[in-house]
Structure 1
Amino acid sequence: MHLFTISVVTVAAAAATAARLEATPNSAFDTDVANYTYDASSYSYCDPGYPSAQSYSEVPGAKLELLQLVVRHGDRTPVNLIANEATTWTCDGTEENIYLHAAGESEKNTTGSFKQIIEIPEWNGKFGFSNHLWRGSCESGELTDRGKHQHNHLGSQLRSIYVDKLGFLPRELNSTDEVYARTTMVWRTKNSAESLFGGLWPKRAITPAKAIPLHSYPERIETMYGNTARCPKLSSLMAQMVDSAGYQKFLRDQGPLMTRLSGIFGVHGSGWDDGWDHYFDVLNARQCHGMDLPCSSSDVPGSTQISGQQCATADDVAQVSHNANYEFAYKYRDHPLAQTYTRLNIGSFVGTLREQMESHIAGKAGNLKFALYSGHDSTIWPLLVLLGADDKSILWPPYASNLALELWKKHDGGRVVRVIFNGQVLRLKENWCDMNACPLEKFFARINDYIPSDITAECNAA
């Protein structure tokens, strides 16, 4: 079976294709949605930009008081499975040892250490369903070894700035009172947080007393991404945006590509017919690992004058990426309902960030200096939108994306917020504030528009 082999040049080819599509005046992306541009230069979905001690400088005439860091998990396996699966994913290059202990009791009162191993049986399905998944040692959506190393590197970069350069965080974490960590109830966000802390404070003692608490909300009440189960209005707003003339024209324009790829993947139905995120996931996860792109097992519908097996191509990856970024900008920013949707999607979490800042300013946060929130692309994305990030900054957040909110106190007593995204001060579409030193009052005034006063009432309103 012939497979299209993707190489290092694929990323460049994909970027070139995206740029060509953008430059074409009468391209298929010339829809009714205004003010959208796609700039893929210097962008990589596979890796974020990392903060650097060499380029980092302090806010003049001010002292750092609090660091809040919102991150996306690192590189992972695909979440969406396809019928024609022929890849191998391995997640055992970095071992994970787990142990339990009774809270408040002797450090010796543990279960001992256990090593987590995901086992996918022989590829025959004789006594199970192994033929419905890839080969290897990974669950769908699991953090890969590459993803663990990404966050470990991010942690080491943070250490070079906030420990070595600024002396803001301690060289050794002897007390966990100075840190707060929250993750979603998903293993890849937990493992990402663990890896980041491993780079920030390497070689920490493995004892219950030294354990960093990882806080999580139960999935049913999660606020770090859109909770459609608790907020039915999110689904209603999304349905209205999808049914709008602009979006339907977009789907028609790109219908032939969707038909061809769904035939290659052997998929259809919910999630595959009304948007591009599933296709983006399948293709880009493989591209980041230099894997062969999916191929069909037979003829594909919608393929004019071509018979036999077909494979997705690098141009397909570029166009799907373009579509996914267009779709996101439309739903979260450009549609008239987008602000309401973003408000209900992430507003409660934004309220948590604001409240933590206010608590620190009021002297009620104890010794807290660093708060880590480990989430998803759906955590980072709406935050970038409500802050007014420019077109390049709101492209699909790469694996291990990192959004830092730094609270600084000036010598005159005033406070400013600096926002750093993937190693650079956040670029804005409209310069409503200087993100290198935005006055706290102006920053709060901006985010307050997105914080619900009664999330339950707003989510259930007609």
Structure 2
Amino acid sequence: MSAPRVMNFSILWASLVDPSKMFSMALSLASSPVPTITPGGSFYPPLHSLSYITDNKQGTFGGVYNAPAEKPTKDHSGDYDYCTMPHPSPKSYSAPTPVQNHSVQAQLVYVEYMQRHQRRTPYNILPGGEDQPYECDNVFPYLYSGPADGDQSRASLPVYAQTYTDNTNPFVTGYVNGSCQYPQLTLGGVLDGHQHGRDLWAVYGEKMGLLPSSPKSPKVWFRSSSSALTQDSAGAVLRGIWPDHTGPLPLHQQAASVDTVNQGFSCAARDKLLSNIQSTEEWKRHLEATQPLRHRLATLFKANTTDWMSSFDHFADNFQARLCNGYRLPCSLSNSSACATADDAHEVFRAGDWEWNYWWHRNQHASQYIQLTEGLFLREIVKRLGAVAQGTLSRVYTHNFIHDGDLGPVLGALDIQQLRWPGMGSNIAFELWKTSNAQYHVRVLYSGHALRTAHGTLDWVPLSRVVDWLKPHVPDDIVSMCKS
């Protein structure tokens, strides 16, 4: 798993595609043999078994890993779609089962919503260099500040960053040509964000009557990490929810060095624990099982380094970013006919899923690792849910724009059945419902579906029980724990 990720630019994107290779790649991905999977079942593969990684018959296990370069992603509301994960939408959303069948009368009174940023360019550029340029000239990533009083006579010029390559720069050789900062949102990612927001309004605004007509209402509150990826996603999604709003909005952030999301605060114990997790016999067995693939990729892309070989984080990130934005898989710079194949990509993705499940769910130190990574954010969630139930918080909606490394531990704390890598735009909704006799129940949606966990499907659970599940992952003294 990569270290905390920070970038400095907002974005949209343009792609340069090799049409023939892109078509064959998409066809291969679409036609891969996979087991029969029930609706929503593609979220829960058999990640307890190492054979899941190396069995090519598993394919993508119903997962979708391709999307157009400059268009929104197609609706795959019933599937695990890494490029743009499903979210609550008017087509698929319904009330919890007891409310729907009228066995109880209840009203939705609060939603704690968290989502990963939308699709983007890669964090990880191949060590040997990239054989395709990434182009981002179809967007103006604005970079300016202005006085809070709105005085137009002192307003800043709306300058934007335009990335370019100087042909005298010797470091460009072995990197990647193009006009992008890495990572950054793509045009497809921004368009997906708009649709994400429109669907949230259709569900929580029009259908449920929860959201106010203006985002300036004190009943709503927005938060992001300090990364421009989450900030840019917020702008797109919130525009989708409130398309007619004019003027600026506050997007709350904690200082980057002490942020309770995106591993903002330093914690030596957390880093040491991750090293221990990745030194277990089970972790070593998964590396041994994938040795042929790792050797092949290391040779193709000059990637025989610890960062690229110790987990599948870097290769999965590189391949996902390509396929989710209309690019093909990479080829060797020294031999254009030696390329990563669809089978290679599928095994990389399956191995990435296995690793995420191991980090946050299967390993014996998972609870402590969640405490050290996400315990403070979990405390914030528990506090807000309790405050709404106690009548001390009048807010109806909180939207957190965060990262995969935040969603993973939240899902682990809820004891998800199997945890695949949370894809782009992945989302968790804690819906708080108040019954006619003033009892509070929670429904937890993961990417639009009631979450399947070791506790059962979280369609209708007393608030107190959800709090009981989360509290063990909230540290009593994180400062002391991190120093230990």
TM-score, normalised to structure 1, is 0.85
In the TM superposition, what are the counterparts of 1:171-250 in structure 2 within 5 Å? Answer: 171-173=213-215, 175-206=216-247, 211-227=248-264, 230-250=266-286
1:135 to 165, 177, 193: 177
Task: Give the distance between the partners of 2:54 and 2:448, measured in 1 at CA.
Answer: 33
- The CA distance in 2 between the partners of 1:142 and 1:56, in whole Å, is 31
Return closer, same or farther for 1:139/1:96 CA change in 2, 3 Å cut-off: closer
Deviation at 1:333, TM superposition (A): 1.4
Q: How far is 1:339 from its partner?
A: 1.9
Deviation at 1:446, TM superposition (A): 0.4
Deviation, structure 1 residue 45: 1.1
TM-align CA RMSD:
2.9
- Give the AA of the match of 2:364: P
- Counterpart AA for 2:414: L
Q: Which residue of the other structure, out of 208, 212, 216, is the alignment partner of 1:170?
A: 212
For residues 190 and 15 of structure 1, do their structure 2 counterparts lie closer, same or farther at Cα, with a shift above 3 Å needed? farther
- For residues 68 and 329 of structure 1, the distance between their equivalents in structure 2, rounded to whole angstroms, comes to 24
- Alpha-carbon separation, structure 1, partners of 2:431 and 2:122: 33
Say whether residues 1:254 and 2:290 are aligned partners.
Answer: yes
2:323 equivalent to 1:323: no
Q: 2:30 aligns with which of 12, 31, 36?
A: 12
Q: Which residue of 1 aligns with 2:375?
A: 347
User: In the alignment, what sits opposite 2:76?
Assistant: none
Which of 376, 379, 395 is the matching residue for 2:403?
Answer: 376
Counterpart secondary structure, 1:296: coil
Unaligned runs of 5+ in 1: 32-36, 300-307
1:54, distance to aligned residue in structure 2 (A): 3.5
Aligned to 2:111: 67
1:115 shift after superposition: 4.3
Other structure's SS at 1:114 match: coil
Q: State whether residues 54 and 289 of structure 2, in contact with CA within 8 Å, keep that contact through their aligned partners in structure 1.
A: no
* Equivalence for 2:136: 91
- When residues 29 and 294 of structure 1 are mapped into structure 2, their CA distance, relative to the original with a 3 A threshold, is closer
User: Which AA in structure 2 matches 1:360?
Assistant: V
Instruction: Output the amino acid matched with 1:267.
Output: A
**1:154: which partner in 2?**
196
Kept in 2: contact 1:101–1:109 (CA 8 A): no
Gaps of 5+ in 2: 1-17, 38-44, 64-78, 100-104
With over 3 angstroms needed to count, the CA separation of the structure-2 counterparts of 1:198 and 1:255, relative to structure 1, is: same
1:71: Cα distance to partner?
0.4
Alpha-carbon distance change, 92 to 421 in structure 1, aligned in 2, over 3 angstroms: farther
Residue 106 to residue 95, structure 1, CA distance change in 2 (3 Å)? closer
Deviation at 1:127, TM superposition (A): 4.0
Report the Cα offset of residue 442 of structure 1. 0.4
Matched residue, 1:276? 312
Matched, 1:457 2:480: yes
- Please list, as runs of the form range in 1=range in 2, the aligned pairs for 1:361-400 lying within 5 A after superposition: 361-365=389-393, 367-391=394-418, 394-400=419-425
Tell me the CA shift for residue 22 of structure 1.
7.6
2:329 aligns to what?
Answer: 293
Distance 1:334 1:419 in 2: 21
What's the CA shift string for 1:344-399, capped at 9, x where partnerless? 2111111011112222333333x4221111111111111112112222xx211111
Residue 121 of structure 2 corresponds to 77
Partner amino acid for 1:195? A
Q: Which amino acid aligns with 1:204?
A: H
Distance 1:360 1:268, change over 3 A: same
Check conservation: 2:116, 2:230, Cα contact below 8 A: yes
Q: CA deviation at 1:294?
A: 1.3
Once the two structures are superposed, residues 213-270 of structure 1 have per-residue CA deviations (whole angstroms, 9 ceiling, x without a partner) of: 111122211221335x621111211111211111112112211211211222222323
Alpha-carbon deviation of 1:424? 1.5
Shift of 1:414: 0.8
Count of paired positions: 431
Instruction: Note if contact 1:181-1:371 (Cα within 8 Å) is conserved in structure 2.
Output: yes
Measure the CA separation in 2 of the matches of 1:133 and 1:107.
Answer: 43
CA shift in 2, pair 1:202/1:181, >3 Å: same
Aligned to 2:449: 424
Shift of residue 277, structure 1, vs aligned partner: 0.5
- Counterpart in the other structure of 1:102: 147
CA apart distance, 1:188 = 0.7
Q: Is the 8 A contact 1:344 1:452 kept in 2?
A: yes
Which whole-Å CA distance do the structure 1 matches of 2:229 and 2:117 have between them?
6
For the structure 1 residues 427 and 248, does the alpha-carbon distance in structure 2 shift closer, same or farther, using more than 3 Å as the test?
same
3-state SS of 1:216 partner: coil
What is the identity, as a one-letter code, of the residue corresponding to 1:295?
C
Alignment check: 8 A CA contact 1:14 1:318 kept: no
- 2:186 aligned with 1:144: yes
Cα deviations by residue, 1:143-200 (Å, 9 ceiling, x for unpaired): 1111111111110001111111122112233x34222111111111000011110000
